[in-house]
Structure 1
Amino acid sequence: MKFTPFRVPRLVSCVSLALVAMAGIPSIAVATPSLTLDANIELDTDAVKASSSKSSYDQGGRLEVNFMAEHRMGDHFVRGKGTGLLKTDGKTATDDMWLMFGSDQWDIQAGRFEAVNLFPLGKDTVIMHAGDGSARVYEANLVRGRVSDGGQFAFHANPSDQIRFELATAYGQGDKSRAFTGVRPSVTFVGQGFTLTAGYEHQKFDDAQTTHKANGVGVTAGFTLGDAQVNLSAAHLRDRSQPSTVKVNSYGANLTLGGFGAGIIHSTTALSQAADPDVTTAYAAYTLPLFDIQNASVTFAGSTSRADNVASDKTVHALRLRFNYTF
């Protein structure tokens, strides 16, 4: 079910302007409103085999409901979005909930959202890494958004069709002793058939267990290759949250062609007092329409991963069957 944008009835606008005129008050421009509502159901059925444990089987999913509203007045706008999730385990959650205001040249965004993606994964229906977390993968997303607590602010500037700037921040995380707990500037260049984005992030806040302190950079290039979309990404992290600094270098490459997508990720974690863990994960997915019904699909996906210099889960293999219906 989808409501297309609607406009204030002409009669109401005329009556409003007439009342203003009769009252001797200067006329005020009427903002043009729009409201959009959509929803979708996603259901995943998984089978996972890790080398250090028995095979596991699970099913999960959610109903996602999206509300989007916007008012425009001349060159300026106010826009809001809310996304609610009803999950199969009985829990509820919020994905996006934000307010944005500004113009086509600049805007300010506040609430819960995701900043620009510095490590796009393409068709990532299922990706499960080996190593049980000791072989880390860094996707330049510590300050990207949808934080577990606190909030976010972001400033966007679009000086031209080819260049976009973003300054994303995290606000009030952890023990609330800091205002801005993360900062993430980035710049995007859009060329003929390709896009290049680079960014830096800094995170620092305290919680009950530790002091989070890390710096990272990420760069990604997306381009078309025939009918395919290709992404190449690299990211570097210096994590000083532990007594000794941990460095992570991650690289990703993926391709999407119609309903098919595949990718590979390689990451190395540099430790000062132990052998350096590394992990390589390959994944693929293919989506088909379900009975040729509009907005209904089934996706077959899998990933395989191997890690070295780790204590457990040296290999992890996963399969996922996903049904999706948008209405």
Structure 2
Amino acid sequence: MQLARYKKLSLAVMLSMGSGAPAMADVTYEGEAGTLSVGGDVELNINAYNEHEGGSSLFRTQSGERLGRDDRFNQDGRILIDINGDRQTSRHYARFKLQPLWNTSGDTGVDDAWFAVGSHTGSELKVGRFEAFDLFPLGQDVFVQYSGSTSNSLYSDGQSYVYQAREGRGRGDSGQIALSHRFGDTMYTEVATLFGDRSDLFDGDTYHGYDIEDDSKSAAIVRPVIAWTPESWTFAVGMEANLVNDSVIDERGEDIGDRTGYGARVSYGHEGLDFNLNFAHMEAHEESNSTVGVNTVWNNVGVGYIYAENDIDDVKPGASMKDITPAGVNKSSTLYSSYRFANVLGINQFDTYVGAYYSEVDHDNGATETDRYGARVRLKYLF
């Protein structure tokens, strides 16, 4: 009987998606076995921005070479299907989420894919692919080009790293486990873990000019967080650390996977006003990184500012300045803004966002100050 009901639900969903039915937040089916819902969104971007020629170092001008620029105009985005299941008993529950997505580039992938079990007293165990607690929220982040994904391809030689306490937050390629507990309505604790090959954290083949070895072993990143949410406020602190020695090594045999970071945030949200103040700091091999961010969203207008410092102790002697960030302190300042046009053309849950950013980077070791900037129009439709 239950199988027949779920088959009827699948047919109804396919018909509604293919017949031009009015937009819906989701389609939900409730049966004796639990609840199953299907929804999703379309997110398409039209971009105009500049980047440095060939992805080369921001700091090439230190060696006397003129820094080239490439102007980029492109379109990207994806369609995401959000599938959720929920089953309840008098004391416990089981839930799952699956979010397959199709990119306009032709690639396919998945955002979240997890299973969770918990109790109504507040404890939960989650296994799969997901994002843990956000220690550095960016607000209405429409376009800030350097930010990368949650955990992969974040650090790149030749760039100014903006650490945001997200190296162990999740959505890695090898899965993760998180244990959390809620104490009433105001206190939340979480210990998230991230396993597997973490060499993909480095967007490239080098770190400080040294080649990264291919024979990396599995890392084990632990990320505890505690958050207090009295009424409209949120106060949270956390850290992330790799517990495995030599998980990623360079050509010298140095343990460049030894990275420990800390994060803290203060947030406020009430009656259309959202505000975040964030801080993050990381100690890595021959490098430390500190970042402060502040942002707010009010009446569909978003504004944010991020300041970051990278202090690099040493780089490979004789390494090409075209490819690396020189030793010393480099500083970046990024200002970004956005505006949301809600329910465009009178279509419910079809929004258009306009966003832009400007980022300026300077180095205390003689490199000429440089900048990056861009703008984006985002079409967002929830169904």
Distance 1:226 1:84, change over 3 A: closer
Task: Choose 125-134 or 35-44, whichever is displaced more.
Answer: 125-134
Match of 2:11 in 1: none
1:238 matched to 2:283: yes
Residue deviations 1:212-249, cap 9 Å, x none?
A: 11000000010147741110000000112xxxx20000
1:107 matched to 2:152: no
1:321 matched to 2:380: no
CA contact (8 A) 2:362 2:369 kept: no
CA contact (8 A) 1:129 1:306 kept: no
For 1:162 and 1:324, locate their aligned partners in 2 and report how far apart those are by CA, in whole Å.
32
Distance 1:312 1:87, change over 3 A: farther
* TM value normalised by structure 2: 0.73
Counting matched residue pairs gives 298
Q: Which structure has the highest helix share of the two? A: 2
Q: How does 1:225-264 map to 2 (within 5 A)?
A: 227-240=272-285, 245-264=286-305
* Equivalent residue in structure 2 for 1:91, among 101, 107, 114: 107
1:45 matched to 2:86: no
Q: Which structure has the highest strand share of the two? A: 1
For 1:312 and 1:68, locate their aligned partners in 2 and report how far apart those are by CA, in whole Å.
51
CA RMSD of aligned residues (A): 2.3
Match of 2:352 in 1: 298
For 2:229 and 2:136, locate their aligned partners in 1 and report how far apart those are by CA, in whole Å.
16
Gap regions ≥5 residues in structure 2: 1-23, 53-67, 148-155, 199-214, 315-326
1:171 matched to 2:195: yes
Distance 1:238 1:74, change over 3 A: same
Match of 1:265 in 2: 306
Residue deviations 1:261-318, cap 9 Å, x none?
A: 1100000001224331110000011011311210111111100010001868821110
* TM value normalised by structure 1: 0.85
Gap regions ≥5 residues in structure 1: 9-31
Match of 1:146 in 2: 171
Partner of 2:293, secondary structure, is: strand
CA contact (8 A) 1:129 1:316 kept: no
1:221 matched to 2:266: yes
Distance 1:224 1:77, change over 3 A: closer
For 1:74 and 1:187, locate their aligned partners in 2 and report how far apart those are by CA, in whole Å.
28
- Tell me the CA shift for residue 162 of structure 1: 1.2
* Equivalent residue in structure 1 for 2:335, among 251, 262, 282: 282
1:184 matched to 2:209: no
Distance 1:133 1:234, change over 3 A: farther
Partner of 1:3, secondary structure, is: strand
Match of 1:127 in 2: 144
